[in-house]
């Protein structure tokens, strides 16, 4: 009498036996980048230029009490130009996966294609989190402590605790502070941009002052990814990546994190733009093991590391 046959399968090596496999491979939905498109690439910086780039800028001149001269012979007062700098140091990033040649030969679904898709999505999430971290380096912080007001702190570390979620009144305070106190330039000429977690946006969407994007954008205008609308001259964008923005901070996790910014908010220094790389002979075993990885040398940082007038470009909405 012959021995009974034992049916087995090994999904890791791509061998499937005694069962039917669906023709459709189920995949998790992707989280596209939200923060990275709002960063400014440092021009004329790349390979062979070291690991640190220095951003130079002139500090603004103080406004005199009066710029009027007494008469035609009066000597014009002379101010001194002062320069400041911001240094950004790039770092390597990367991650990879391996698969076997047998897995590729026997599997119904090509692991190489799957690896590339999954790594691309991982790379996008990692880069967006890094960019979000840079935005959250902002020195100016707004903490909502009542339904109509809040606390502004300027040292980059929140000490007050949020008691309510962000709303339209708070956005009005932030907008006016950026326009009149720190004189941050608008992002698109007449609006700032605010990126908030889902909970943060929920506190604004129900207000009558919230405008759907089709109410202010005209034919030919560019709509940002995940932009539901505008409020208080702030174009709002939703971020669902919880590793980038927390969806619950403050008392009872009442507040959704966010940032509001204008031009020159965050700079991106790149030596190697993050990209996929394939190794068809991983570990040198005659091509029996293969690997795909993403790799890049890049860094994100606030362009102006300051809370001063004419220098600060970002207001972070947060809580202790």
What is the model's pLDDT at position 27? 47
Rounded to whole angstroms, the Cα distance separating 319 from 160 reads: 6
CATH 3.30.2400.10 domain locations along the chain: 36-58+82-132+268-302
pLDDT, tens only, 42-96: 998 988 888 999 988 887 788 888 888 887 777 888 988 888 888 999 999 999 9
Rounded to whole angstroms, the Cα distance separating 299 from 40 reads: 11
How many other β-carbons are positioned within 10 Å of the β-carbon of residue 59?
14
93-102, 180-189, 258-267: least confident range: 93-102
Angle ∠(199,214,316) on CA atoms, nearest 5: 35
This prediction has a pTM of 0.83
Look up the CATH number of domain 36-58+82-132+268-302.
Answer: 3.30.2400.10
| Average pLDDT in the chain | 87
Q: What's the half-sphere exposure (Cβ side, CA atoms, 13 Å) at 188?
A: 17
Confidence class for position 144, pLDDT limits 50, 70, 90: very high
């Amino acid at each position: 009498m012959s021995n009974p046959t034992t049916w087995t399968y090994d999904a890791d090596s791509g061998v499937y036996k005694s069962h039917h496999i669906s023709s459709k491979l189920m995949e998790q939905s992707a989280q596209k980048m939200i923060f990275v498109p709002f960063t400014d690439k440092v021009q004329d910086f790349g390979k062979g230029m070291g690991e640190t780039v220095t951003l130079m800028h002139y500090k603004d001149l103080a406004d005199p009490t009066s710029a009027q001269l007494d008469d035609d012979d009066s000597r014009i007062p002379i101010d001194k130009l002062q320069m400041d700098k911001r240094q950004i140091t790039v770092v390597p990033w990367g991650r990879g996966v391996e698969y076997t040649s047998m897995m590729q030969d026997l599997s119904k679904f090509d692991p190489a294609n799957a690896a590339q898709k999954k790594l691309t999505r991982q790379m996008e999430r990692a880069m967006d989190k890094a960019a979000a971290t840079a935005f959250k380096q902002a020195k100016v912080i707004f903490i909502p402590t009542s339904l109509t007001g809040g606390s502004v702190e300027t040292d980059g570390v929140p000490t007050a605790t949020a008691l309510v979620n962000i709303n339209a009144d708070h956005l009005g305070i932030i907008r006016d502070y950026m326009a009149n106190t720190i004189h941050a330039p608008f992002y698109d000429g007449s609006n700032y941009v605010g990126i908030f977690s889902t909970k943060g946006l929920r506190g604004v969407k129900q207000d009558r002052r919230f405008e759907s994007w089709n109410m202010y954008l005209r034919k030919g205008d560019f709509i940002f990814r995940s932009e539901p609308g505008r409020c208080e001259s702030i174009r709002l964008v939703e971020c669902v990546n919880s590793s980038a923005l927390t969806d619950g901070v403050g008392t009872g996790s009442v507040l959704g994190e966010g940032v509001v910014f204008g031009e020159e908010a965050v700079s991106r220094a790149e030596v190697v733009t993050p990209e996929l790389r394939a190794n068809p002979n991983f570990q040198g075993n005659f091509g029996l093991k293969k690997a795909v990885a993403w790799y890049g040398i890049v860094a994100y940082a606030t362009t102006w590391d300051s809370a001063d007038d004419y220098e600060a470009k970002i207001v972070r909405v947060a809580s202790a």
